[in-house]
Structures are given as structure tokens and as C-alpha cells.
Amino acid sequence: MKPLNINDIAKAAGVGKSTVSRVLQGQNHVSPDARARIESTIRELGYQPNMVASGLRKRRIQTIGLIIPDISNPFFPEITLGVQQVADERGYAVLLANSGWSNDREEDLVALAQRQRLDGMIINPVHISLAALRAFGHSVVVIGTRAAYREFDAVGSNTAESVQLALAHLHALGHIHILALPGPRGQDSTRNREAAIYTAMQARPDKLPQIHYCEFTKSGGYDAVAALLSLTPRPTAVLCGNDLIAIGMLAGLRERGITVPGQISVVGIDDIELASVCCPTLTTVHKPKREMGMTAANMLIDRIEGNIQSPPQMKKMSTHLVIRESTAAVGISSG
């Protein structure tokens, strides 16, 4: 009924519980004979050590938290896979939670992580306060490049570079009237993208893209079509804050019979798998999502295991442009 414990094994193997514990932890100072006897007993009885008890004593539960906004956004499963792969290799389990872009949920989840005494946490923060994040009291790695969180380790993609690549591509194709959809108004990642736009356009401030705000979702992009069509002169290209927005926009444009890239070029950011399948296939800026997850997990576990005492560092992964069908040179007929 009750699962076996270390004493049962000790008795069955005719040794003390300390010796069993040493074997479980792979320590020395155990005679080959005792070790063999213990190991075979464990196998025979199918004993699985209780990590809850061990966690209580060691203050290490071999589990990290991963808090993301929304696992159904295809950007995040890739991050998750990267995190899990490394966590797994290094002996950690991953507790996954979705904040649903809500501040309250984010703070609740961090409090939960604290109660669960997780060894560390990787979070893609949306609104959460520094105070709440500090209260966690263990190592934290932030996903994203937001200055507000600079006191924590972070891994993100180079937003400035992504936006720069996308805009340069559109400029090279002759696009001057551009609409930018950097994300929802008032969110940090939106501001990052806007800032990147200004930086990229320093040389020609007269040709700044128009800005329109929308959610980071398919329907956000879909709804933005109306805004696009109300502008005069009508933009010939759209720079979308992520691929989901771009895909929503493609759907909206198709519905209205506007051809892409014939009448309007569309470029996304992220390079989710969908981007290579939608119609037309999407020109976008590739982010190394899997690698970002792996890096985050490695940074976190290095901290947890004390391999790093240095000040917090931010790793910016580099990005590259993937040219597909959704962009083309600005045409003569555009109306």
C-alpha cells in the first residue's frame, strides 16, 4: 500500500539507511559489495526515492518553472521544447504555466512557484512588477530584451536587428509607405519594436512608418486590415510585430481581394512553422526559438548550481531574414 522508503531498502539489503542514501546520490565511501547489494535490492523491489522528502531536506526539488503568456501561440512551444531538452539533460523537471497575458495571473503564478519552492524560474514577463519577481527569492531568467528587467539574467532575440532587417528588405524593394503593427499599445515588447523602428529610420526620419496597435494574435492582424485601408496614401507594405499578426493580416487581405505581394507586401517576425505553410508563404525574420529556450535553461541551471556568481547578463540571439512569397518590389499599379 504505502510506497517503499529508504529504510525498507536498508533493511532488505542489510545496511544502514545512510549507506543507501549515499548510493542513491552516487557518492563514494561505499564498498563495492554493499553498493551492489543495494542496487540490486532497489531494482528488485522497484523502489523510487521520494523527491518530495529529499527536496525538503536538500532545499532543492529538481524542478524549474516556465511561465509564458500562451502556449497556443506557436512561438512558445518551440521555446518550451528547448527549455525541456536542457532541463531534462541536466536532471530537472519543468512546471509549465500560462499567464494569458494577465498581470494578476503572472503574480499568482510567481507566488505559486515560491510556495512550491521551485529551484528557479524562466519567465516571459508581460506586466509583472520587479517587486513580485524579486520576491520569488530564487534564480530567475527572463525571456526578452526588456531593460526593466536588467537585474535578472535574460535571453532574447535582437529586436533592433530584426526590425532593421525587415525594414531594409522592404526599402530595398522600393517600399516607402509602410504600416507597422508593433503590438498592443502600452506593452514593453511593443515599445521595444517601436524604438527599433526609430533607430532603424534615423537616416530618413521623414519616411517613418505609420504605427497601428493590435494584439499579438491572428485576429489582431485580421482586424488591422481596416486600419490599413483607411490610410492615404495607402501603404504598400506592412511590418507585423509577429507572425501571427501577419497571418491574420494575410487572411483579411485575401478576403477583400487584395493580392499579396502584388498590391501589398507583408513581413512578419518570429518565423513560426506556420509561416512556411500559409498562403502566400510569409517573408519573416527568423528567431532561434529552440536555442533561446536551451540557452535560458542553461543559464538558469548554471545559476542554481552556483557555477555562475557573476552579475546578470543578457544574451541577445541573432536573427536573420527569411524571404518567401509575401514580399515583392513595389508595383506600378497599387490601388
Closest contact distance (angstroms) between CB of 112 and its own copies is 6
**Residue 232 binds: one of its own copies, DNA, none (C-beta under 5 to 8 A by kind):** none
User: Site for its own copies (CB under 8 A): which residue of 130, 208, 279, 329?
Assistant: 279
Which residues from 57-86 bind DNA, rule CB under 7 A?
57-59
Round to whole Å and give the CA distance between 58 and 55.
5
Long-range pairs, 202-209, Cβ under 8 A, ≥24: 207/176, 209/167, 209/178, 209/179, 209/180, 209/235, 209/239
Preceding peptide of 261 cis, ω within 30°: yes
Task: Name the residue nearer to DNA (CB basis): 58 or 256.
Answer: 58
Binding mask of the shown chain, residues 2 to 41, with x at each position contacting DNA by CB under 7 A:
xxxxxx------xxxxxx-xx-xx--xxxxxxx-------
Which residues from 289-328 bind its own copies, rule CB under 8 A?
none
Closest contact distance (angstroms) between CB of 36 and DNA is 10
**Residues 299/153, Cβ–Cβ less than 8 Å:** yes
User: Site for its own copies (CB under 8 A): which residue of 12, 93, 227, 258?
Assistant: 93
**Residue 218 binds: one of DNA, its own copies, none (C-beta under 5 to 8 A by kind):** its own copies
User: DSSP per residue over 118-185, as a string?
Assistant: -SEEEE--SS--HHHHHHT-SEEEEES--GGGTTSEEEEE-HHHHHHHHHHHHHHTT--SEEEE-SST
Task: Name the residue nearer to DNA (CB basis): 61 or 170.
Answer: 61
* 71 binds its own copies per the rule CB under 8 A: yes
Task: Name the residue nearer to DNA (CB basis): 43 or 59.
Answer: 59
**Residues 121/135, Cβ–Cβ less than 8 Å:** no
User: Site for its own copies (CB under 8 A): which residue of 36, 45, 111, 226?
Assistant: 111
* 306 binds DNA per the rule CB under 7 A: no
Round to whole Å and give the CA distance between 156 and 272.
16
Round to whole Å and give the CA distance between 101 and 131.
18
* 114 binds its own copies per the rule CB under 8 A: yes
